[in-house]
């Protein structure tokens, strides 16, 4: 079921002009998983653009260190569970008044295939997908009332393509992208702007944790988190749904959509190469 009546209908000029006019000075921004990596870079980049930032992370010290460094407010805790999110939204509203931008950035990257432990699948669903759904549930009533709000989902190129060696990651990142797309298609005319940030490799602790596979597949073209954060803010300013810090991702996505068998064959050749080199 696609339910797509007129997928080619263009966005109105007014919408695009509004998006281009985005200025983050004074805006209230929340970054989940902001204690390190891409989230820390997002927090610092928004703060440098004049935003008032709330930095969340499971790691209390890391959240405080980043908040201190960018003049923001730390709100440590779990940004995936219903209770944790309710507390975070409450703390953020107390600090910021309005939440203008929600960066659903916290993520986990368990490795493994169909035999990955049930706990790894559950944690990937909770943090990579349900955290976004639950945040949207809490944010939407106010955003619809005031006619605006921005949701930036840190997805991954794995959400558009796949990630060899990590079925829970690939599947849940597709879920995160699907939810972001649904949110945008449903609420765009009511002022809610949604963006899906889909980098390939980024030099963070998460990339390091993927070991030999990440080293072989992602490290050679990996970007620094600061470059990804700059690309994210540029994408928000331009009003783009898909933000691709590695521009070549667009071509891979096109081939996957238009020549799926060629795409799968290519990915399988990569898998065989990883098996030969014993990375997998
Ligand atoms: N590093 C990459 O190559 C890469 C590529 C594409 C997408 N991403 C995505 O970018 C996002 C950030 O990844 P990163 O590379 O900066 O990872 P990272 O591991 O360096 O940082 C992630 C942070 O999120 C926090 N976190 C995890 N679960 C949390 C929770 N439930 N509540 C609050 N905080 C939580 C961690 O404590 C950590 O500080 C993730 O969604 C990841 O999937 C990363």
Q: Across all residues in the chain, what is the average pLDDT?
A: 93
Concatenated DSSP letters for 25-89? TT-EEEETTTTSHHHHHHHHHHHHTT-EEEE--SSHHHHHHHHHHHT-EE--S-SSSHHHHHHHH
- Residue 102 CA to ligand 1 center (angstroms) comes to 15
Question: Is residue 201 within 6 Å of ligand 1 at its C-beta?
Answer: yes
Question: Is residue 88 within 6 Å of ligand 1 at its C-beta?
Answer: no
Q: What is the pLDDT of residues 9-33, one digit of tens each?
A: 544 444 544 444 469 999 999 999 9
> Helix (H, G, I), strand (E, B), or coil: what is residue 223?
strand
Predicted pLDDT of residue 13: 41
Asked whether residue 266 carries a pLDDT value surpassing 50, the answer given is yes
- Residue 240 CA to ligand 1 center (angstroms) comes to 22
Sheet holding 101-104, edge to edge: 73-74, 52-55, 28-31, 101-104, 149-154, 192-197, 242-243
Q: 136: exposed, middle or buried (C-beta count within 10 Å: 0-12, 13-18, 19+)?
A: buried
- Determine contact, residues 263/255, Cβ cutoff 8 Å: yes
Q: What is the pLDDT of residues 121-161, one digit of tens each?
A: 999 999 999 999 999 999 999 999 999 999 999 999 999 99
Distance of CA 243 to the CA centre of its chain: 10
> Which atom of ligand 1 lies nearest, measured to the CA of 126?
31
Asked whether residue 248 carries a pLDDT value surpassing 80, the answer given is yes
| Atom 10 in ligand 1: residue holding the nearest Cα | 154
- Determine contact, residues 238/231, Cβ cutoff 8 Å: no
Question: Is residue 32 within 6 Å of ligand 1 at its C-beta?
Answer: yes
Q: What is the pTM of this model?
A: 0.94
Structural domains of the chain sorted by starting position, each given as residue range(s) with its CATH number in brackets: 25-114+126-276 (3.40.50.720)
| Atom 16 in ligand 1: residue holding the nearest Cα | 37
Torsion sign across C-alpha atoms 40, 41, 43, 47 = positive
- Determine contact, residues 155/177, Cβ cutoff 8 Å: yes
| Atom 24 in ligand 1: residue holding the nearest Cα | 33
Q: Which residues are catalytic?
A: 169
């Amino acid at each position: 079921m696609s339910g797509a009546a007129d997928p080619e209908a263009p966005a109105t000029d007014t919408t695009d002009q509004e998006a281009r006019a985005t200025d983050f000075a004074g805006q209230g921004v929340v970054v989940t998983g902001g204690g390190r990596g891409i989230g820390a870079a997002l927090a610092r980049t928004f703060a440098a653009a004049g935003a008032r930032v709330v930095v969340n992370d499971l790691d209390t010290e890391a959240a405080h260190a980043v908040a201190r460094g960018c003049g923001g407010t730390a709100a440590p805790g779990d940004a995936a569970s219903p209770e944790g999110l309710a507390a975070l939204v409450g703390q953020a509203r107390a600090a910021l008044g309005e939440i203008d931008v929600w960066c659903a950035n916290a993520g986990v990257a368990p490795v493994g295939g169909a035999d990955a432990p049930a706990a790894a699948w559950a944690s990937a669903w909770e943090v990579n997908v349900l955290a976004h759904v639950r945040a949207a549930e809490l944010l939407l009533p106010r955003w619809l009332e005031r006619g605006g709000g921005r949701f930036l989902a840190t997805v991954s190129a794995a959400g558009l393509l796949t990630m060899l060696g990590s079925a829970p990651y690939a599947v849940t990142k597709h879920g995160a992208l699907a939810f972001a797309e649904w949110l945008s298609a449903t609420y765009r005319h009511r002022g809610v702007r949604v963006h899906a940030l889909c980098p390939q490799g980024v030099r963070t602790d998460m990339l390091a944790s993927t070991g030999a596979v990440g080293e072989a597949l992602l490290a050679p073209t990996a970007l620094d988190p600061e470059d990804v954060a700059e690309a994210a803010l540029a994408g928000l300013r331009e009003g783009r749904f898909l933000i691709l810090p590695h521009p070549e991702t667009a071509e891979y996505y096109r081939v996957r959509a238009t020549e799926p068998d060629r795409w799968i064959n290519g990915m399988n050749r990569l898998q065989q190469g990883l098996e030969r080199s014993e990375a997998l």
